[in-house]
């Protein structure tokens, strides 16, 4: 299956993408994770991406598209993929359409996670992430067993630099201006599943699995 997961920052894209990709045995491709890993490894791409990410802005399309292009050409994408955080602009979506058409592939579904701005700010301020394996925690509803230590790999669990409240507000502005219009773009193709912000991860997972027919 070829899927996109969309939603405002903090909507739970990473969490649900992980669950869905494991269930379907398809690669979870997160452009945010690719940028963060480049920042961690001190690559040239990481240096450029950090400048934008720290301000809550989008990394320019030509850079982001190049990365996704290379990733989609890898063998593991032949059986499907789940894109998380891409596309985020209309030009990125148009590129994706073109690239998939060239590969004689098409998107199956777009999963749109709905969440209010107030909830985003509340949720992101309590979000923590493992600096080693990327596992996501929340100090309120899914804390680590030992404070600051990852349950899965014992790495350090920290707050992302771009999860500071002022940066989150900027990311929300960018989301409403540049990314939200993509819901319409894909709705006209009739492939969007709207997921309401019901309580708990499990309820949403069940709903998504049901819609995808993989329950």
* Catalytically active residues, by annotation: 13, 88, 127, 160, 171
Specify whether the backbone of 25 is left (phi greater than 0), alpha (psi in -120 to 50) or beta.
left
Of 146 and 178, CB closest to ligand AMP: 178
Contact 132, 152 (CB under 8 A): no
The CB-of-13 to ligand AMP minimum distance in angstroms stands at 7
Q: How far is the CB of 215 from ligand AMP (least distance, A)?
A: 27
- In the bound state with ligand AMP, the residue whose beta carbon lies nearer, of 57 and 164, is 57
Cα 100 from chain centroid? 19
Contacts of 152-155 with CB under 8 Å at 24 or more apart are 155/130, 155/131
Q: Report, in Å, the least distance between residue 164 CB and ligand AMP.
A: 12
Which residues have a Cβ under 8 Å from the Cβ of 76 and sit 6 or more positions away?
Answer: 27
**Nearest residue to ligand AMP, scored by beta-carbon proximity:** 32
**Minimum gap (Å) between residue 89 Cβ and ligand AMP:** 7
One-letter-per-residue 3-state SS of 66-83:
HHHHHHHCCHHHCCCEEE
Binding site for ligand AMP (CB under 6 A): 9, 31-32, 35, 52-53, 57-59, 64, 85-86, 88, 92, 162, 171
What are the backbone angles phi and psi of residue 54, rounded to the nearest 5°? -60, -25
**By C-beta, is 21 or 31 nearer to ligand AMP?**
31
Respond yes or no on whether the N-terminal peptide bond of residue 198 is cis (omega within 30° of 0): no
Kindly tell me which of 9 and 12 has the beta carbon lying closer to ligand AMP: 9
Give bridge partners of residue 28 from the DSSP assignment: 82
């Amino acid at each position: 299956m070829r899927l996109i997961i969309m939603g405002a920052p903090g909507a739970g894209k990473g969490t649900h993408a992980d669950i869905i990709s494991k269930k379907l045995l398809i690669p979870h491709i997160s452009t945010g994770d690719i940028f963060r890993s480049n920042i961690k490894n001190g690559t040239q791409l990481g240096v450029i991406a950090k400048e934008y990410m720290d301000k809550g802005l989008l990394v320019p399309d030509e850079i982001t598209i190049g990365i996704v292009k290379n990733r989609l050409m890898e063998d593991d994408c032949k059986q499907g993929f789940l894109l998380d955080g891409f596309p985020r602009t209309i030009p990125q979506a148009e590129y994706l359409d073109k690239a998939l058409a060239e590969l004689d592939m098409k998107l199956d579904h777009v999963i749109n996670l709905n969440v209010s701005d107030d909830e985003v700010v509340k949720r992101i301020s309590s979000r923590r992430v493992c600096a080693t394996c990327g596992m996501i925690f929340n100090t309120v509803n899914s804390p680590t067993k030992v404070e600051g230590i990852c349950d899965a790999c014992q790495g350090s669990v920290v707050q992302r630099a771009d999860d500071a409240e002022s940066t989150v507000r900027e990311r929300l502005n960018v989301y409403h201006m540049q990314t939200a219009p993509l819901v319409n773009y894909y709705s006209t193709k009739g492939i969007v599943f709207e997921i309401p912000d019901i309580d708990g991860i499990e309820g949403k997972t069940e709903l998504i699995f049901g819609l995808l027919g993989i329950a």
